[in-house]
Amino acid sequence: MSSKKYPFQKTDEEWKKILNSEEYYILREKGTEKPFSGKFNNHFESGIYVCKGCKQELYDSKSKFESNCGWPSYDGSKSGAIEFKKDISYGMIRTEILCSKCGSHQGHIFDDGPSLTGKRYCVNSLSVEFKPNKKSK
């Protein structure tokens, strides 16, 4: 991981206590889950997606769309919640997206989204948790 100091810090040992091995691989080692395998790929309930590592709010369900790419996709993020970093791994030039509070890898952003933003935040399901909106009575 980066040597950058984030507001939410944990040692590798501490991360391994709160994340399972797959979550650790994705969030801390910049891994990727298999396409179409994530629980949030076809999830469209109303609520907020938060970082699996630090619980910072990242994406509103209103920004989620069906991209057919195999991973949950959003056309925007909460203001200031995502950090962007050039990624030249695997012989490609991409932009990595990370949680701005803890530096956990979320996925990558692409310029092929269908909405007015033109963005597709391609996110690993294992990097987020979902908090449903509370229904009023």
Helix, strand or coil, per DSSP, at residue 126:
helix
Is 122 an active-site residue?
yes
Q: Give the Cα separation of 39 and 126 in Å (integer).
A: 8
CB 58 within 8 A of CB 81: yes
CB 51 within 8 A of CB 99: yes
CB 127 within 8 A of CB 40: no
Among 54, 99, 102, 122, the active-site one is 122
Residue carrying structure tokens 């509370």: 134
Burial class (CB in 10 A: 0-12, 13-18, 19+), 133: exposed
Which residues are known to be catalytic? 122
